[in-house]
Structure 1
């Protein structure tokens, strides 16, 4: 049996924080008593102005945002043809599974620094050179997605007892991540794929 990977990452959008500065306000409040009323009025205007700015900015940021929908599909290579997979499909050792992740930005703003991650299911191993995504940089993980590199490295003990860093075998890959440098435009579609071999 095989499992459908469900771990995907997109860039998180964080609302900017409004941090009021209080140095000048404190100086005004500490001035002579005859300016206390002016200082209080100025402080009130600053607070009201900041609130209005925050509300306007929140309305703008909530109105313009990307909304990325993802779809995962898989097929198995059998008799020189691709057969679509579902949860009830049984796969055999040695068979190649093709995973395709399709992303569509249905929002009204581009997604910046868009990334998507494909999981290498347990009981399978990544097929070297199979990761494809137009316009994306591809990086890999061998530690369950904690770190990524174009070429993950491991330490290997040499015959003389020394330790040498060497490229990790693709059988150790646990995740494949695709990173797009260009903004993911609203209404745009992206596709990424990779293959795994059933052990």
Structure 2
């Protein structure tokens, strides 16, 4: 069994960086659901909350499989191959809209992003980084050298993804936004 320990998962709101957790569930690791507040003097504040669930696959007596999500609480154990779903919730606590909200979620090291698993409940641009959060694009690509020496551009594999960025043009006063994405334990 591998023990997973990750640098902090975080969210970036406006110009403030808000770290959420310093430990992500791993084999015999402790998971803490946490929240933080990002504040901008000109636009108010957004409260951020991050939760994680583990996918549980069950099989009935007829061989039919079902998938459910189990919240990670307390002492959570995950194994290589397990799929985790993260839910990031942002609530605009202020009386006015927050403009140009940017949420940046790093993919922990020992985890692999599940391609096309990001969803968000509002209008947002979803982009990804494969260089540790330096650049973001909608469809990351890599250059591959073929056996004949030619270089070809191909979609980046899931193992290359390092960050997810959600850009919201505006978050109305007193409203919630919820985003989810999945990772798999390596």
Is TM-score (shorter-chain normalized) higher than 0.5? yes
Separation in 1, partners of 2:49, 2:171: 16
- The answer to whether the Cα contact below 8 Å between 1:5 and 1:118 also exists between their aligned partners in 2 is no
Q: How far off is 1:81 after superposition?
A: 2.4
Q: How far off is 1:175 after superposition?
A: 0.8
Kindly indicate whether residue 26 of structure 2 is the aligned counterpart of residue 9 of structure 1. Answer: no
Separation in 1, partners of 2:166, 2:71: 23
- The answer to whether the Cα contact below 8 Å between 1:66 and 1:186 also exists between their aligned partners in 2 is no
Q: How far off is 1:133 after superposition?
A: 0.7
- Structure with larger Rg: 1
Secondary structure of the 2:177 match is strand
Runs (4 or more) in structure 1 with deviation over 6 Å come to none
Q: How far off is 1:121 after superposition?
A: 1.3
Separation in 2, partners of 1:185, 1:104: 9
- The answer to whether the Cα contact below 8 Å between 1:65 and 1:108 also exists between their aligned partners in 2 is no
**Residue matched to 2:46:** 68
Question: What TM-score, normalized by structure 2, do the two folds share?
Answer: 0.73
- The answer to whether the Cα contact below 8 Å between 1:9 and 1:116 also exists between their aligned partners in 2 is yes
Q: How far off is 1:86 after superposition?
A: 3.6
Q: Write out aligned runs for 1:65-144 (5 A).
A: 65-78=43-56, 79=58, 80-86=67-73, 88-134=75-121, 135-144=123-132
How many residues align? The count is 150
- The answer to whether the Cα contact below 8 Å between 1:156 and 1:164 also exists between their aligned partners in 2 is yes
> Structure 2 stretches of 5 or more lacking a match?
17-39, 59-66
Q: 1:158 aligns with which of 139, 146, 167?
A: 146
**Residue matched to 1:194:** 181
Instruction: Summarize deviations over 1:64-112 as a string: whole Å, max 9, x none.
Output: 6220110000010113322111463110111110000000011232111
More helix by share: 1
Question: What TM-score, normalized by structure 1, do the two folds share?
Answer: 0.69
Q: Which has the higher contact order (CA 8 A, sep 6+)?
A: 1
> Structure 1 stretches of 5 or more lacking a match?
14-60
More strand by share: 2
Kindly indicate whether residue 127 of structure 2 is the aligned counterpart of residue 149 of structure 1. Answer: no
Secondary structure of the 1:171 match is helix
